[in-house]
Structure formats: C-alpha cells, structure tokens
Chain A
Amino acid sequence: MNLISGIDITTGALNAQKTRLDIVAQNIANTQTTRGPDGRAYQRRVVSFETQLMRQQQAAGQSLQSVKVAQITTDKTPGQRIYDPQHPDAGADGMVQMPNVNLAFEMVDLITASRAYEANLSVVKNARQMAMKTLEIGK
C-alpha cells in the first residue's frame, strides 16, 4: 500500500502545470520576437493535457487518473501586422509581422496554472498530514 496516498497522481498534475507555466513564460518572453530560428515571427505555444491511467480498481470501480502534457502545439492564428518601415524585419511594404501572443490571455493562463499548482500542492500537504497522523496511531 502506498503510504502517502495519491501522491503519484498529484506528481503528474504538478509536472503538467509546471510545463504550462514554462510555456506561458516562453510566450510572454516572446511577445515582441519578430524573428525566430526559422526567420519568421514567433507563434504562441499551447499546452494540452490528457489523462493518464494510474491504476485500475480491482472491483470494477472507477480507475484513478493522473494527468500529463499531451502535446505542445503552435497557435496558427496570424498575429498583428503593424506599419514600421524602420524595423529590420519590415517587409517591402513597411509592414512587420508581430507574434500572435496576447498578453491578457497569457496572464489569465498564468494565474489559472499557478492556482491549479497550488491546489495540487495542498493535496500533497494534506496527504502528508494524513500519513503522519496514521504513523502516530498508538503513540
């Protein structure tokens, strides 16, 4: 039996949320990047989650599921084009292709991810307290 129950489920979730925070950081860092390694403007990355079967219940009950990052995709929506002829990446018409990062979206994502991370951390804390209490039985 697992002493700190459910810890493997929460580990997956913490990892997934942390990846999401990393991606948000990357998106925010690249809000003004007009030239990436491929020579084009940065396109924001989107993280998608999928459940991961942890273990099947013996008595035909519901199984426990953790979560993991399924894939990191690029958001294909076109970014803004602004007129700035002085910009080194401006086209012949003086327009610059900007990244499609929207700071408001990213901030919302950031807050959601960090709240979810906190919630999972409190699950760990709780599980630990329960385990400690169990160890104190009879003392």
Chain B
Amino acid sequence: MACPLHYSPCMVDPIFQSPNYQLASKLLDVSVLRQEAIASNIANSETPGYRRIDVAPDFATELRSRINAGDMTAATRLEARLTEDSNARSMRPDGNSVQIDSELLQMNRNMVEHDFLSEVISRNIKQLRLAITGRAG
C-alpha cells in the first residue's frame, strides 16, 4: 500500500510492508482456507463418492519460486485455492477418499501453523508499539 501524501515521512508503513509480515499474513489466510477444507472433509467423511479437498499443491511451489526469484510483491499477490486432492487413495468401496485420522492430524498441524503465524504478526505489531511508547507490553 502506498504511503498517503499527508504523512510525509512515512514511518509506520515499512513495518507493515516488510516481506516477512506480508508473507505471514498471506500464509495466515491460507491456513484459514485449509481449516475450511478440513472441515469440509471431516463433514463428508461418510458421504459416498466424496473426494477430499485441500489447498492446491501448486500454491507452495509457486510461492517458493517467487520468493527465490526475489519478487516479494508477486509472492504476496499469489492466491491460494482449493482443489481435489488427486494423491489421496480411496481405501473404501464407496469411493470416499477421506481418512479421518489423517484429517484430524492435519487439522492439529494447521492450527500450530496458524498459532505460529499469528504470533509472528503479533510480534510485528508489538515491536511497533514498543517503538512508539518506548516500553514493552
């Protein structure tokens, strides 16, 4: 986001524009999206023919290549989307590819990821507050 003209020496924006901050907020959105996908998978764990969905695997590869290319704006502009998980094998006669235990494990893992990312964002804001007030907390 560009700095508004009336704050001429813009000091607040760089904190919110740091690549780490922007990436963390992007990945936080992705973890919320993944939580929705897992909710959908667990809800449909007994629906015949349902195929599990997940965040498209090309998101991670694309993100990595954009980061390696050093283009942070392009990396943060990347949108994640949900796709059918083509790697999931169906072990059941009804064609459903949800395995409830692995879904629950992924859900827990996703929550730890979400906790971590929100902590990163929180720390960024706390740093800003520390800079303004001169004291932590």
A residues touching B (Cβ–Cβ < 8 Å)?
5-7, 9-10, 12-13, 49-51, 54, 57, 59-67, 112, 115-116, 119-120, 122-123, 126-127, 129-130, 133-134, 136-139
Contacts and interface: CB of A to CB of B under 8 A. Distances in A.
A17 B7 CA distance: 56
A137 B36 contact: no
14 contacts: A7-B39, A10-B42, A13-B42, A13-B43, A13-B44, A61-B81, A61-B82, A61-B83, A66-B43, A120-B42, A126-B35, A126-B111, A130-B31, A137-B122
A6 B33 CA distance: 9
A9 B36 contact: yes
B40 interface: yes
Contacts of B46: 49, 67, 112, 116
A7 B36 CA distance: 8
Contacts of A13: 42-44
B104 A122 contact: yes
Contact of A5 (B36, B100, B115): B36
Interface residues of B, number: 38
Interface in B108-130: 108, 111, 114-115, 118, 121-122, 125-126, 129
B137 to A, nearest CB: 10
Given A5-B35, A57-B81, A61-B83, A123 B107 contact: yes
A137 B39 contact: no
A9 B82 contact: no
A123 B43 CA distance: 9
Contact of A137 (B103, B111, B125): B125
Given A5-B39, A61-B82, A126-B111, A133 B118 contact: yes
B52 to A, nearest CB: 10
Given A61-B83, A65-B40, 10 more contacts: A6-B38, A51-B44, A61-B56, A63-B82, A66-B44, A67-B43, A119-B103, A120-B43, A133-B118, A136-B122
